[in-house]
A and B are shown apart, each in its own frame.
Chain A
Amino acid sequence: MITFWIAVLGLAILLYVLLDGFDLGVGILFGFARGEDHRRAMMSAVEPVWDGNETWLVVAGVVLWGAFPVVYATLFAAFYLPLLLMLAGLILRGVSFEFRGKALRGRWVWDVGFSGGSLVATFMQGLMVGALVEGLPISHGEYTGGDFGWLSPFALLCGAGLCLGYALLGACWLVRKSDGAVQANAFRLIPMLSLASLGVLVIVFVFALSENLQVLARWLERPYLFVFPFIGIVAGIVLAMSVRRRREQEPFYMVTATFAAAFGTFALSFWPYMIPFSITVEAAAAPHSSLAFMFWGEGLFVLPLMLVYTAISYGVFRGKVGADTDSY
């Protein structure tokens, strides 16, 4: 049961990062777009699916609460202010989808809300992951770092790195979903964004290895784990080739694979810790009766259904936007 729910949690976080990653990334790039046509095209590329994407964040949150209440309580209390800013960012960008088209003179407010909100939310997510990798001060199962205990140069670097990474996902999504000048711009951005985010990723990984002997030992003990970084590298190479050939579909899938590989690398580095080196999966898990209740309903039946809905919604909105999008 515990294994099942940690897997679901991992899946939800990974899907969230990949799916909301690209629409947050489009939001970040939106801030640099010139002209109403470009902005309109970028927004409609994510408009029908962003809500579903963001729901994976809620899934991760509630699975964490239901299956690993100790981690939910500890982390969310520790990250009080970053979470607040992330939520404020998500709120502002979320309403911008509805509000932007309805505003008359005040459209710029929601342009700023959309790109600024996306940027802040992404930055805070990266920052929290960074602080977690670096290690939170925790004693007797309670966070002791104070209001700003999560703040460090490394966490800030991770925040910036995730902004680059999401922007990269967003650019690849735009390559798939748009055409003309918007697509050309997106193509131009991919090499720069991918090199920059790769750089941050390597720094983060080397840092994790050097700071934590436990992590280093794990990698030396089990060299087969290097298959994950290897997948990432292969995907990076294919990405470079596909961008050079101006292929529309491959870049997105390659960046997705890189993200998944990076996710796997970090998850395995810290296994079995959920909060590195203080709370393990086993210690955080809810009682069996809670996990079983979740498993026999939502885990076994509803989760596959959720994946079907997601597939249906992406199926309905497949293809390029613009040609036949009905914006009301």
Chain B
Amino acid sequence: MHFTALLLSRLQFAFTISFHIIFPSFTIGLGAWLTILGALHLATGRPTYRVVFDFWLKIFGVAFGLGVVTGIVMAFQFGSNWSALARLSGPVQGPLLSYETFTAFFLEASFFGILMFGRNRVTPGFYLFSTAMVALGTTLSAYWIMVNNSWMQVPTGYVIADGTFVPNDWPRILFNPVVWVRFPHMLLASYLTGAFCVAATGAWYMLRRQFNAEARVMLNMGLYLAAIVMPVQLLFGHLVGDYVHDYQPVKFAAIEGRWHDEQPAGEVLFALPDENAETNHAQLKVPVLGSLIGSMSLDSKEVGLTDFPVQDRPPVAIPFFSFRIMVGCGLLMLLLAWVGTYLSRGRRLERSRALLWLTFCSFPLPFIAILTGWFTAEVGRQPWTVYGVLRTAHALTPILTTRAACISLVVFCLVYALIGSFGVLFIYRLLRAGPGQLVPAPASATARRPMSVAEASP
């Protein structure tokens, strides 16, 4: 493989954004869950909720910090590595990202400080409000990012003038129907991430016979939430597939591993796609299902990759496999959430060590699903950066040297490896130590004597 500035920049972007997305998706889910816990605690006064809240807040803090510092990189990288894109699409993408900063980052940053350090400086009501504001901030951030990315997937509401993309219909950009299936898809994925991490932690404590009350809250709430969200997520996943089918047929064909037009089309469950021979090896295929998934009919014609010139096709293997891994993770999570929730009635789940082990081991599933989902979307969009309009090769900074791109990729790998490994270590330590007994006083006393919390904390 020949390492050019283009390839190195693509690797760097893929690496930094994949590393980054892990943390926001975790904190979006965790933020929503903390708000629910905070509200439950304020409403019921049950101390367990407070203990669980404080425990997950610490983990939220570490993940949030990593998300913030790796996110700053993204705001600069468009200019440093993709200056041609920045110049051309700046009038569209710049305002969108500036809305993200203005509406979301300040909300998050200001109220996050209060969440972490200000508990004894504000009233419980305002504290809950701060929690909700942080959660709202993370959600808004996701919205703007999805608008931005959806515009790159399905550009709309612009004209080309003076060599740049000039927006002429902002409502079409903001309320693009594509946004409104992809944004919920990402949001639900984040909620699932939070839910499975919480449930897995609860299962872990159950297996170790520790922190029983807290573990039960985590396990049950996590699985209930997942059991409700997961089917909705599958529906939205299908709707996202519909937009790809309609707007990006070549990506759809790559995901399906379909080389030639078929009528009715079959669905390839597994295969080894071969780009040179333009065919699949070791193929496992269900007839007609492809037409059903693609067009909701039994006899529709579905297009194949060979309809498109070679230079307009994405690499096939990555979207093909990452899509199947994502769907596989989703189905596993659905099964686990439903069986677990069913068995949690009458506490049968707590006695089934096998199922507790499975739940404990499930925590990587949502992360894998999110990453592979993004690989499908982004690699499938290739060779375009702005679909159909700007090729990735033309988006690169023209003056970027291979040497500079190589240095930056190495520096980012080193720095991220350092902070990533320590971040994981510290989160693991927090999880292993488990929730403390932070609240000696009942909630009503806490409300009247806000200082009691600080006195009790180490």
Using CB atoms and an 8 Å cutoff, list the residues of chain A in contact with chain B: 47-49, 51-52, 54-55, 57-59, 61-67, 69-70, 72-81, 83-85, 87-88, 90-92, 94-95, 97-99, 102-103, 106, 142-144, 146-147, 286-287, 289-290, 293-294, 297-298, 302-303, 305-306, 309-310, 312-313, 316-317, 324-328
| Contact present for B94 and A66 (CB under 8 Å) | yes
Report B207 CB to chain A, min CB distance, Å: 24
- Contact flags (1/0) for B65-102 with A, using CB distance below 8 Å? 11011111101101110011011001111111111111
Q: Does B193 contact A (CB under 8 A)?
A: no
Q: Does B238 contact A (CB under 8 A)?
A: no
Report A214 CB to chain B, min CB distance, Å: 26
A234 to B114, CA, bound (A): 36
Q: What chain B residues lie within 8 Å of A302 (beta carbons)?
A: 99, 102-103
Q: Does B166 contact A (CB under 8 A)?
A: yes
A85 to B408, CA, bound (A): 9
Q: Does B121 contact A (CB under 8 A)?
A: yes
A62 to B105, CA, bound (A): 12
- Contact flags (1/0) for B265-291 with A, using CB distance below 8 Å? 000000000000000000000000000
Segment touching A, from B304-312, B353-361, B418-426: B418-426
| Contact present for A62 and B97 (CB under 8 Å) | yes
Q: What chain B residues lie within 8 Å of A142 (beta carbons)?
A: 398-399
**Given known A-B contacts A147-B403, A289-B91, A74 and B102 have beta carbons under 8 A apart:** no
Q: Does B4 contact A (CB under 8 A)?
A: no
Q: How many residues from B make CB contacts under 8 Å with A?
A: 81
A91 to B66, CA, bound (A): 8
Q: What chain A residues lie within 8 Å of B90 (beta carbons)?
A: 65-66, 69-70, 72-73, 286, 290
Q: What chain A residues lie within 8 Å of B71 (beta carbons)?
A: 58
Q: Which of B78, B114, B451 contacts A65 (CB 8 A)?
A: B78
| Contact present for A289 and B78 (CB under 8 Å) | no
Residue of B nearest to A88 (CB): B415
| Contact present for B69 and A94 (CB under 8 Å) | yes
Interface centre among B71, B98, B107, B419, by most chain A C-beta atoms within 10 angstroms, is B98
A55 to B71, CA, bound (A): 11
Report A298 CB to chain B, min CB distance, Å: 4
Q: What chain A residues lie within 8 Å of B105 (beta carbons)?
A: 55, 58-59
- Contact flags (1/0) for B118-137 with A, using CB distance below 8 Å? 11111000000000000000
| Contact present for B121 and A97 (CB under 8 Å) | no
- Contact flags (1/0) for B31-69 with A, using CB distance below 8 Å? 000000000000000000000001000100110011011
**Given known A-B contacts A55-B109, A58-B72, A84-B80, A91 and B101 have beta carbons under 8 A apart:** no
Q: Does B167 contact A (CB under 8 A)?
A: yes
Q: What chain A residues lie within 8 Å of B119 (beta carbons)?
A: 326
| Contact present for A47 and B117 (CB under 8 Å) | yes
Q: What chain A residues lie within 8 Å of B352 (beta carbons)?
A: none
Interface centre among B69, B71, B73, B458, by most chain A C-beta atoms within 10 angstroms, is B69
Q: Does B168 contact A (CB under 8 A)?
A: yes
| Contact present for B95 and A293 (CB under 8 Å) | yes
| Contact present for A95 and B99 (CB under 8 Å) | no
A99 to B418, CA, bound (A): 11
User: Which 6 pairs across A and B sit closest by C-beta, in order of nearness?
Assistant: A69-B90, A76-B79, A66-B94, A65-B94, A309-B110, A48-B113
| Contact present for A91 and B61 (CB under 8 Å) | no
A310 to B112, CA, bound (A): 12
Q: What chain B residues lie within 8 Å of A87 (beta carbons)?
A: 72-73, 76
A15 to B365, CA, bound (A): 42
Q: Which of A63, A80, A294, A327 contacts B404 (CB 8 A)?
A: A80
| Contact present for B453 and A98 (CB under 8 Å) | no
